[in-house]
Chain A
Amino acid sequence: MIQMEFYLVVSTIMMFVGIYGFLTRRNLLAMLISVELILNSVDINFAVFNRFLFPGELEGFFFSLFAIGISAAETAVAIAIIINIYRNMKNIQVKNLRDMKW
């Protein structure tokens, strides 16, 4: 049987890969993907803790399903924003989006 720690190691790696990607990618789409990675690592944690620490309970599973739904909606909104940015600026490079500051 696979130990709980292995799942946690994988999810931690995913989490930091996501953070690294979010900080270093200069493309909005790549950043969005990185955010998804972070969310997924959290989902894994919910499922793993429910499975190993509270067997018979269902809150963790439902919470991860809930988070998947939310992240899908969030991704749709983010994609819509990115497409609009592209239409207006012909570009989705983050460094060109300084106008958003004001």
Chain B
Amino acid sequence: MDYTVLILLLPFLSFILLGLLGTKLKPVVAGVAGTAVTGIVAVLCYATAWMYFSAGRDASGVFPQVIAWNSEWLPFGGNLHIDLGFMLDPISVMMLVVISTVSLMVHIYSFGYMKGERGFQRYYAFLSLFTMSMLGLVVATNIFQMYIFWELVGVSSYLLIGFYYTRKEAIAASKKAFIVTRFADLGFLVGILIYGFYTGSFSFTPDSAVMGAARTMLPLALGLMFIGGAGKSAMFPLHIWLPDAMEGPTPVSALIHAATMVVAGVYLVARMFPLFIGYAPEVLHITAYVGAFTALYAAVVACVQSDIKRVLAFSTISQIGFMIVALGVCTSADPHEGGLGYMASMFHLFTHAMFKALLFLGAGCIIHAVHSNEMSAMGGLRKYMPVTHVTFLVACLAIAGIWPLSGFFSKDEILAACFRFSPVMGGIMTFIAGLTAFYMFRLYYCIFWGKENKELHAEHTPHEAPKSMTFPLMFLAVVTLVAGFIPFGHFVSSDGRAYDIHIDSDVAALSLCIAVAGILIATWMYLREDRKVADSLATKFSGLHKAAYHRFYIDEIYQFITHRIIFACISTPIAWFDRHVVDGFMNMLATVTQKSSWGIRQMQSGYIQRYCIWFLGGALGLVVLLLVI
């Protein structure tokens, strides 16, 4: 399977080509080139997936891990070395399919959305870079390669968020995203180093022989790695960058901040799952609590936001919380015993990527039509944009968890896993699932129903998006419709053996009921034009409403801690010390050297006569000396 290397090389070449020659090419040519490369990559990924899964299971009934290509990149002393390679196993193949599909759809969609933008070629170059690094991340053969591509993903995310580099908000958002995730990656790096030091390798599956000594340090290493994952996956309290990242172009939000990059943290935990379950189950449960809190927090905030992309961003945070919870509630590697969450998490990752990309791309169409992110500029758009309306509705139903859409199946598995862990966790997650249904349908009604903003629409009538934008919507909607019936447990499960997904009827009935209840409440509150109920609730609980609208002031707390405490109390004195003491010492050395050299230089005046006087003086001095002696 040597050709799999092309999956990484082609987007990289495309990035180099478009990045260097971008301005020489016509925008259309650059776009077609980038899209064609991504198309080829997608085909290769599908072929890889087909060949991998059709190759069958080995004797123990699992899909074997295939190292398609590997090379030692950086050897250290002993057995420690960093490899670069291409590993195929069920979850990496699944991720290849997800990433290439969403990336291809976003490439096609961007033709319509980014048409006429300045820097069109640059945009496609960055998309290629991102695709390459994300694919490299999932196929990494060892944790260090994963880290390298992890950082590349961070960089390309930074570049794409700050794509509109003339806008102040975009620059601030890109910096915020980069710094926050980079800060979290520090934890990841330290975790990797501890892991490498104690186990003597960077491999995902170290020898169990050497694990004896490493056993005590492994929970710490895995916990630190999870901090890195929490940064990328926007777990509380490192989630603050994701809502701001919506300043980037909407297709970028769909690709990076909904479907692929933000699930990197989930993927990391899934990748380290055997170690988590074997050596640090308590750390795994901590991740579950972090995920559950994040899911709840983000769902509450999403209920009151007025910017549609912000709502989607918080819904993404909440759904990633679901995936983390599903991984965290695993108590064993056997899916029949307590490892169901692993499969559920990966399944939800797969379905969520599809319908969340669909939601973001739909939001992009709406923004394209009304030229605003605010809900107040929308309302009653269903007449103008039928395709967007239907596909958006499909995605909303899927995320709310309505049968037979894909979200129902994956969310049901997650809830079943949670209930198996503890009824409290199951209850909380079911409640959050209800909240999800509520805020998604609030969003849906506010956009497509309700009072039309007649003044705004009179001067600029909304219109359906061009074909290049509606095609990805329809494609993803079809995927969302059928993806639930994929026998996902046959491909991915915590111990690798085939697992039949069976719907737990109690949990399914409960989650379906609460989802329908959420939808009905949203319908009751937001379908009509006046929205009396919603307004009266907002005034009744104005404190809560305001706090949730301001995201519970987390950003302000960060602002306070960084500016008032860290900058003022630590950074400023250190800066003073640096400027005055460290720099002062160096300046003193320089001044002394300069002064003394100035003195010595005076002897080299260049006046021949002055030299002669010295010469004469010297000669006379010698004579006197000879006479005296």
Which residues of A does B touch, CB under 8 Å? Answer: 19, 22-24, 31, 94-95, 97-98, 100-101
Q: Does B597 contact A (CB under 8 A)?
A: no
Complex contacts, A31 vs chain B, CB 8 Å: 609
Query: Given the complex of chains A and B, what is the CA–CA distance between A24 and B616 in angstroms?
Result: 13
Interface contact B612-A22, CB-CB below 8 Å: yes
Interface contact B609-A100, CB-CB below 8 Å: no
Interface contact B606-A19, CB-CB below 8 Å: no
Measured between C-beta atoms, what is the minimum distance from B563 to chain A in Å?
54
Interface contact B612-A101, CB-CB below 8 Å: no
Interface contact A101-B606, CB-CB below 8 Å: yes
Nearest residue, chain A, Cβ from B610: A23
Give 15 A-B pairs besides A94-B607, A101-B604, A101-B606 with Cβ atoms closer than 8 angstroms: A19-B616, A22-B609, A22-B612, A23-B609, A23-B612, A23-B616, A24-B609, A94-B608, A94-B609, A95-B607, A97-B606, A98-B605, A98-B606, A98-B607, A100-B606
Q: Does B600 contact A (CB under 8 A)?
A: no
Complex contacts, B605 vs chain A, CB 8 Å: 98
Nearest residue, chain A, Cβ from B604: A101
Measured between C-beta atoms, what is the minimum distance from B520 to chain A in Å?
92
Measured between C-beta atoms, what is the minimum distance from B286 to chain A in Å?
72
Complex contacts, A95 vs chain B, CB 8 Å: 607
Query: Given the complex of chains A and B, what is the CA–CA distance between A80 and B148 in angstroms?
Result: 72
Complex contacts, B588 vs chain A, CB 8 Å: none
Q: Does B590 contact A (CB under 8 A)?
A: no
Complex contacts, A100 vs chain B, CB 8 Å: 606
Q: Which B residues from 531 to 549 make CB contacts under 8 A with A?
A: none
Interface size class of chain B, counting residues whose CB lies under 8 Å from the partner chain:
under 10
Nearest residue, chain A, Cβ from B608: A94
Q: Does B458 contact A (CB under 8 A)?
A: no
Complex contacts, A94 vs chain B, CB 8 Å: 607-609
The main secondary structure of chain B at its interface with chain A is helix
Query: Given the complex of chains A and B, what is the CA–CA distance between A94 and B608 in angstroms?
Result: 8
Nearest residue, chain B, Cβ from A24: B609
Nearest residue, chain A, Cβ from B612: A23
Which residues of B does A touch, CB under 8 Å? Answer: 604-609, 612-613, 616
Complex contacts, B609 vs chain A, CB 8 Å: 22-24, 31, 94
Which residue of A23, A97, A98, A101 contacts B613 across the interface (Cβ within 8 Å)? A23
Complex contacts, B604 vs chain A, CB 8 Å: 101
Measured between C-beta atoms, what is the minimum distance from B621 to chain A in Å?
15
Measured between C-beta atoms, what is the minimum distance from A102 to chain B in Å?
8
Complex contacts, B616 vs chain A, CB 8 Å: 19, 23
Query: Given the complex of chains A and B, what is the CA–CA distance between A24 and B605 in angstroms?
Result: 16
Complex contacts, A101 vs chain B, CB 8 Å: 604, 606
Complex contacts, B607 vs chain A, CB 8 Å: 94-95, 98
Nearest residue, chain B, Cβ from A22: B612
Query: Given the complex of chains A and B, what is the CA–CA distance between A31 and B592 in angstroms?
Result: 39
Query: Given the complex of chains A and B, what is the CA–CA distance between A23 and B606 in angstroms?
Result: 14
Query: Given the complex of chains A and B, what is the CA–CA distance between A22 and B613 in angstroms?
Result: 10
Measured between C-beta atoms, what is the minimum distance from B600 to chain A in Å?
15
Measured between C-beta atoms, what is the minimum distance from B611 to chain A in Å?
10
Query: Given the complex of chains A and B, what is the CA–CA distance between A24 and B608 in angstroms?
Result: 11
Query: Given the complex of chains A and B, what is the CA–CA distance between A31 and B607 in angstroms?
Result: 13
Query: Given the complex of chains A and B, what is the CA–CA distance between A31 and B606 in angstroms?
Result: 16
Measured between C-beta atoms, what is the minimum distance from B10 to chain A in Å?
59
Measured between C-beta atoms, what is the minimum distance from A8 to chain B in Å?
17
Identify the 9 closest CB pairs spanning chains A and B, nearest first. A101-B606, A98-B606, A23-B609, A23-B612, A23-B613, A94-B609, A22-B612, A94-B607, A94-B608
Interface pairs (6), CB distance under 8 Å: A23-B609, A23-B616, A24-B609, A94-B607, A98-B606, A98-B607
Measured between C-beta atoms, what is the minimum distance from B617 to chain A in Å?
11
Measured between C-beta atoms, what is the minimum distance from A28 to chain B in Å?
10
Complex contacts, B608 vs chain A, CB 8 Å: 94
Query: Given the complex of chains A and B, what is the CA–CA distance between A94 and B611 in angstroms?
Result: 13
Measured between C-beta atoms, what is the minimum distance from B364 to chain A in Å?
67
Measured between C-beta atoms, what is the minimum distance from A39 to chain B in Å?
16
Nearest residue, chain A, Cβ from B613: A23
Nearest residue, chain B, Cβ from A19: B616
Query: Given the complex of chains A and B, what is the CA–CA distance between A22 and B616 in angstroms?
Result: 11
Complex contacts, A23 vs chain B, CB 8 Å: 609, 612-613, 616
| B604, B609, B613, B616: most-surrounded residue (chain A CB, <10 A) | B609
Query: Given the complex of chains A and B, what is the CA–CA distance between A69 and B56 in angstroms?
Result: 108
Complex contacts, A24 vs chain B, CB 8 Å: 609
Nearest residue, chain B, Cβ from A101: B606
Measured between C-beta atoms, what is the minimum distance from B623 to chain A in Å?
14
Query: Given the complex of chains A and B, what is the CA–CA distance between A22 and B612 in angstroms?
Result: 9
Query: Given the complex of chains A and B, what is the CA–CA distance between A44 and B609 in angstroms?
Result: 25
Measured between C-beta atoms, what is the minimum distance from A69 to chain B in Å?
25
Complex contacts, B612 vs chain A, CB 8 Å: 22-23
Measured between C-beta atoms, what is the minimum distance from A23 to chain B in Å?
5
Query: Given the complex of chains A and B, what is the CA–CA distance between A100 and B604 in angstroms?
Result: 12
Query: Given the complex of chains A and B, what is the CA–CA distance between A95 and B605 in angstroms?
Result: 10
Query: Given the complex of chains A and B, what is the CA–CA distance between A22 and B610 in angstroms?
Result: 11
